[in-house]
Structure 1
Amino acid sequence: MMRKDVQPVFVWRTLMLLCLALIVLPAGSAFAAVNKPFPQHTTYTSGSIKPNHVTQATMDNSVKTKWNAWKAAYLKPAGTGKYYVKYNSAGETVSEAHGYGMLSTVLMAGYEANAQTYFDGLYSYYTAHPSANNPYLMAWKQNSSFQNVEGDNSATDGDMDIAFSLLLAHKQWGSSGSVNYLQAAQNIINAIMEDDINQTQWTLRLGDWATSGSYNTATRPSDFMLNHLKAFRSATGDARWDNVVNKTYTIINSLYNGYSSSTGLLPDFVIYSGGAYKPAPADFLEDPNDGHYNYNSCRTPWRITTDYLLTGDNRALSQLNQLNSWIAAKAGNSPGNIKDGYKLNGTLFGSYNSGAFYAPFGVSAMTSSSNQSWLNSLWSHTASSPQEDYYEDSIKLFSMIVMSGNWWTY
């Protein structure tokens, strides 16, 4: 029997330990094991390279530092049980940013103790903002009051990253908890096929709204997330995704051979005219540089190369190799000389050394050992870079995850 004078101390210590456990273990991590914790050190395709002038541990730590800064600046609560990504000073967000938030939290799980809590909160926000065209797609923009603005329809890139992140969440935590990640992924993947894909051309639409006129056949190379598409095929068994993969690679090479054979650059937007895919004219959707390598297509070296690194699919390798040799020469082998905007023939029109531009070139440099010193320079420039804005910092984080060998797939 316990002595009466000991019992209060015992109870007090027990309560203190329980309280500490609740503080240390967030809701998500308390209920699901982390199956693929950061760092993963993925083995990429044979012949590819990583930075070799710093240790693996140093690279991992640099990614952690970038994640910590990104989380502090952009990942914010959005009411009870929800999170969103603050993409500008007005406190607005877009589905592109939301996809980035879901991708980064699932990839950083294991290092980030609250990853599943953040991810589930981001998932709850996504489900609370459906597109009017398809309830499984996400309305593309919300204001600081979390109200849909500028049309409650979707953007393909946000939809794709959300879908891919849900597949990774299934691998990371399983689907037997409060969210069935696999079922949620399959729902949005099927919705993307129905409303974000032109099933006559098998091209990626700009969004679920782009169903008429020249917009119906237009596409955006920064949406060419080929490894996402292959994961969608694997997760659903839907062979139509093979058509989209094949057509996407065909368009990359058509643009490269027809418009940028000396640079490998791809335009921000692409139209279908006269039976062929061509760079979009000025002001097609956003600004006078819609047909140039600008703030959309700056992501293509990261998006396209990632599929090569993970699967060895070399259908865009000639374009990527040309891109690598051109940018290294154009910048005089100095990442600080890379600017934010080029015409497809290589003519410079940008003026700022944006992380959204230089960091993805680090991913494309991984294709060949001939790029080793260039890759090392790009890694160092990115890892030591100061904070910019949401867009640049997101792209730098993802590029460093890939460059350090820590990207993985479904």
Structure 2
Amino acid sequence: MTAGEGGAAAVPYGCHAHPYPPGTLRPSGDPAVADRRVLDHYLRWKACFVRRGIGGEEGRYAVYTPDAAHPYVAEAQGYGLVITALMAGADPEARTVFDGILRHVRAHPSVNDPELHAAQQDGEGRDVGGTDSATDGDLDIAYGLLLAGRQWGGDYTGLALRRVHAVKESEVHPATRLMKLGDWSSGDWDGVSRTSDVMPGHLRAFRAATGDPFWDEALDAQLTLIGALQRYHAPDTGLLPDFVVDTLTGRPRPAPSQVLEGPHDGDYHWNACRDPWRLGADAALGGDPRSGEAARRISRWARTATGGDPDRIGCGYHLDGTRYGEGFSPAFAAPLAVAALTDEGAQGWLDALWDRLCAAPPDPARAYAAGVQLQSMLVISQNAWEP
């Protein structure tokens, strides 16, 4: 397909342009009904979290995060770029919103590398909390730009390639090929990585866009890390920790408490809950059997541990499967639905998860969960595709 002209979408929402590998599950029922449910969730997400006029600029948009440390964070802007690129063809404002978020991103370069994004802004759109980067945000920003280049043409691909290069230079450890926490995390931080920064599909797209075999090496290193963590530290569950330490020694292990964020840095917590989504999406879109096996291990544990009831999914687990987090959140449930796509015995579990997600509209106070849920639903409904 060629890039869209004048804002038209080359890959319009609902066209299901990317066939998933044989054996990949999908929710039971009419795909058109699933598409409408995702569109409804998107429109609610947009109404809740997309803000206009940031910093007094009418054309600058940003994704608002009432549940984060600051109103505007890099992770959310990356989510916004990916989501709006995928929703083109359904939302006539998709490109306008995309361009507005991109304007915000470009107005806030990292102090360490101007092709990366300063991670946090206040309600007036001013940098706060330091002006360095967060790797997860930058990965999604670069990926969103690649999607936009496929969708609309223009200068997006050139901007994407500059950001992909900046990620390589500033956010990937040159020896381990694992993701650093940001462009600031050198020295004592060299051996620390975050599992939710393992986004195999993004690295696969970077390799396709650049032709650089570096990204093959990074992909192999990161999927090897995931396999080792599951095999040696969570053999019965497949669960992954928020953070990993000792990556320079060749014997990586879950982080002890308080490495970066809190007492659950070594548990399946509010970062790692995204991992089944990223791994399951790569299995569906990239067909990598390593991603599929990793996602399937988590899926099989989850449907057994919950008895197939999505409301029994907790918000935090030790790696042995012991639950410590109470309540239900789409941030934990939606990624498990993506993982279920890889699990041939999980049709009933997938359908139960899908129905639960469709019955859970975005909570205006929970931007993180809503963003994870919407992107997971795009994958589950086969409305995600590779740039």
Q: Shared fold (TM-score greater than 0.5)? A: yes
Match of 2:375 in 1: 398
Q: Percent identity?
A: 39
Say if 1:137 and 1:191, in contact at 8 Å, map to a contact too: yes
Where do 5+ consecutive residues of structure 1 fail to align? 1-28
Name the residue aligned to 1:3. Answer: none
Correspondence 1:17-166 to 2 at 5 A: 31-41=6-16, 42-52=18-28, 54-77=29-52, 78=54, 79-88=57-66, 92-166=71-145
Report if aligned partners of 2:24, 2:341 keep a CA contact under 8 Å in 1. Answer: yes
**Cα drift, residue 310 of structure 1:** 1.1
2:151 counterpart residue number: 172
What's 1:317 paired with? 292
1:346 matched to 2:321: yes
Q: Is the 8 A contact 2:299 2:343 kept in 1?
A: no
**1:33 deviation in Å?**
2.3
Whether contact under 8 Å (2:179, 2:194) holds in the other structure is yes
Q: Tell me if structure 1 keeps the 8 A contact 2:73–2:121.
A: yes
What TM-score do you get using the length of structure 1 for normalisation?
Answer: 0.90
Structure 1 pair 91–323 and aligned structure 2 pair: CA distance change class (3 A): closer
Tell me what 1:258 maps to: 232
CA–CA distance in structure 2, aligned partners of residues 216 and 375 of structure 1: 38
2:304 is equivalent to residue 326 of structure 1: no
Which of 342, 346, 362 matches 2:337?
362
Whether the aligned pair in 1 keeps the contact of 2:85 and 2:94 (CA below 8 Å) is yes
Q: Which moved more, 1:30-39 or 1:160-169?
A: 30-39
Give the CA deviation at 1:91: 7.0
What are the equivalent positions in structure 2 for 1:276-287 lying under 5 Å apart? 276-287=251-262
| Mapped contact 2:24–2:284 kept (Cα < 8 A) | yes
Cα displacement string for residues 192-227 of structure 1 (whole angstroms, at most 9, x for unaligned residues): 0000010111111111010111x1121111111101
TM-score between the two structures when normalised by the length of structure 2: 0.95
- Secondary structure of the 1:270 match is strand
Q: Secondary structure at the match of 2:222?
A: helix
1:193-212 to structure 2, matched below 5 A, reads: 193-212=168-187
CA distance in 1, matches of 2:298, 2:231: 12
Asked whether the equivalents of residues 340 and 352 of structure 1 are also in contact (C-alpha less than 8 Å), the reply is yes
> Per-residue deviation at 1:140?
0.4
One-letter amino acid of the counterpart of residue 350, structure 1 = G
Aligned-pair CA distance for 1:312: 1.4
Distance 2:70 2:252 in 1: 37
CA distance in 1, matches of 2:147, 2:35: 20
Match for 2:370: what amino acid?
D
Further displaced range: 59-68 or 77-86:
77-86
Tell me how many residue pairs correspond in the alignment.
376
Paired amino acid for 1:264: G
Query: In structure 2, what residue type is equivalent to 1:249?
Result: L
The corresponding residue for 2:312 is: 337
Q: In the aligned structure 1, how far is the partner of 2:273 from the partner of 2:301?
A: 14
Looking at structure 2, the residues matched to 32 and 323 of structure 1 have their Cα atoms a distance apart, in angstroms, of 40
What are the within-5 Å matches in structure 2 for residues 211-290 of structure 1?
A: 211-213=186-188, 215-272=189-246, 274-290=249-265
> Which whole-Å CA distance do the structure 2 matches of 1:315 and 1:401 have between them?
22
SS at structure 1 position matched to 2:261: coil
Cα 1:256–1:91 shift into 2, 3 Å: closer
CA distance in 2, matches of 1:275, 1:57: 47
Q: Give me the whole-angstrom Cα distance separating, in 2, the residues matched to 1:319 and 1:307.
A: 11
1:40–1:407 contact (8 Å) kept in structure 2: no
Where 1:367 maps in the other structure, the secondary structure is coil
Equivalent pair of 1:401/1:407 in contact (CA under 8 Å) = yes
Structure possessing the higher radius of gyration over alpha carbons = 1
Match of 2:354 in 1: 379
Which amino acid is 1:51 matched to?
A: P
The Cα of 1:251 is off from its aligned counterpart by: 0.1
In 2: Cα distance, 1:169 partner to 1:153 partner: 25
**Aligned-partner residue type, residue 125 of structure 2:** F
1:259, CA displacement in angstroms?
0.4
Quote the Cα distance in structure 1 between the aligned partners of 2:299 and 2:153.
Answer: 38
* Structure 2 CA distance for aligned equivalents of residues 326 and 121 of structure 1: 41
Contact 1:253 1:316 in 2 (8 A): no
Structure 2, unaligned runs of 5 or more:
none
